[in-house]
Amino acid sequence: MPAITPKEIFLRTLRLQPTPRHPVALLSGGIWTLNRQGLSLEQALAAGAERSAGIIVETTTLLRSDLVWTGSGYHNLAIRALGGLIKFRRQGAPDVMEPLLKTAAGAEKLDLDRLDEDPDLVLLRDTTRLVAREVGGQLMVGSSAWGPFTYAGLLYGVERLMRSIYKDKAEVHAVLAFAAELSFRYLARFVEAGAGLISVADPTASGDLISRRQFEEFVLPYQTQVIGRLKAMGAEALVHICGETTDRLDLIAGTGAGVVSVDYKVDLARAAAILEGKLAFAGNMNPVAVMQASTAGEVAQACRACILKAGPGSSHILMPGCDIPPTVPLDNIRAMVDTAWQHAWPASTAER
């Protein structure tokens, strides 16, 4: 029989099925990938789709990751495409400089068709198409964008969004309805370009910022809507929310996502207990204290502890707990990947 591909290992994990080794991947990592070749995100756009795709494929092959990401780090280009002002950085993702909306009614003037026409977004989709053509048979190809609650904060202003949760719920829901359509329209084009996994990243929905009750009212319906529409197109979905999310993992399990990515603040044993039999989970190596600041040996040791905490029989994917800084050493990422590749639970304990 032919050897099982990394893509199939990843898909089996999402289906809660046993795998011959532990799955492993970066979470996004686009800034790290391009900076490693001396390119900022802005310079990579100028370099063109073929060069960006070549760098992404080469790096993923070098790392032996089960998942290759395209379009990572560029989520705020959607705001610029709608007329917003962003600022590129030498390292890191571009910043949104000011909210586009003064009221929810202002969204009526924003044309989502501009997402299809923006030349940089077209280039990112072309990059995805090239990567999928090159390695999509062997590796899971993923792309990502902000979730509706985070896009709403960028469009409306995070502080004003948080105040309006208490003072004007109707206004918040109106902004979120537009943000959900924005998130879907942005991601749908990447699915059409060949991405089989879509990450809905919603850091503003963290337990560090809003309560479980607020999450249930203002985040869950819109995440579920976006994910349902993307799944109808044939994509798998991953939800990532930074910070402490233990109290809402059971709610995320109802979004239709196949995997939830958890931050280092979340206890993996607790996550495994909550999510058992519901969906896969990924994480949660500390991207700074471990992945950036430790030695390769220390990273390997932390990864083994992470896998053991997730437990035998769990549908766990070893990942950093968030996107990694651009200065993480290559040897540390290799140590993470090698640890997962070398780990296989005994057959008697690996059955899910």
- What distance in Å separates the CA atoms of residue 288 and residue 194, rounded to the nearest whole number? 31
What pLDDT sits at residue 74? 97
- pTM, whole model, 2 decimals? 0.94
Give the tens place of pLDDT for each residue, 199-218: 999 999 999 999 999 999 99
Do 40 and 88 form a contact (C-beta atoms < 8 A)?
yes
What pLDDT sits at residue 348? 42
Q: Which residues of the chain have pLDDT under 70?
A: 1-2, 345-352
Opening angle at CA 70, ends 78 and 83, nearest 5: 10
What pLDDT sits at residue 334? 96
Q: Which of 285, 229, 283, 284 is nearest to 257 (CA)?
A: 229
Backbone phi, psi, residue 120, to 5°: -70, -35
Q: Is residue 1 part of a domain?
A: no
* Structural domain that includes position 189: 6-350
Q: Is residue 336 part of a domain?
A: yes
What pLDDT sits at residue 243? 94
SS3 call for 127: helix
Do 31 and 72 form a contact (C-beta atoms < 8 A)?
yes
What pLDDT sits at residue 90? 87
What pLDDT sits at residue 313? 75
Domain count, the chain: 1
- The residue with tokens 């290799």 is 334
Cβ partners under 8 Å of residue 186, min gap 6: 75, 78, 115, 121, 145
Give the tens place of pLDDT for each residue, 45-94: 999 999 999 999 999 999 999 999 999 999 999 999 999 999 999 888 99
- What distance in Å separates the CA atoms of residue 173 and residue 169, rounded to the nearest whole number? 6
- What distance in Å separates the CA atoms of residue 291 and residue 303, rounded to the nearest whole number? 10
What pLDDT sits at residue 351? 46
Q: Which of 266, 262, 254, 263 is nearest to 223 (CA)?
A: 254
Q: Is residue 73 part of a domain?
A: yes
Give the tens place of pLDDT for each residue, 119-152: 999 999 999 999 999 999 999 999 999 999 999 9
- What distance in Å separates the CA atoms of residue 41 and residue 63, rounded to the nearest whole number? 21
What pLDDT sits at residue 7? 97
Beta strand 67-70 with 316-320: parallel, antiparallel or unpaired? unpaired
Cβ partners under 8 Å of residue 81, min gap 6: 114, 115, 117, 118, 121
| CATH classification of the domain holding 77 | 3.20.20.210
What pLDDT sits at residue 1? 44
Tell me whether residue 289 is exposed, middle or buried, using C-beta atoms within 10 angstroms of its C-beta: 0 to 12, 13 to 18, 19 or more.
Answer: exposed
- What distance in Å separates the CA atoms of residue 339 and residue 95, rounded to the nearest whole number? 35
What pLDDT sits at residue 350? 46
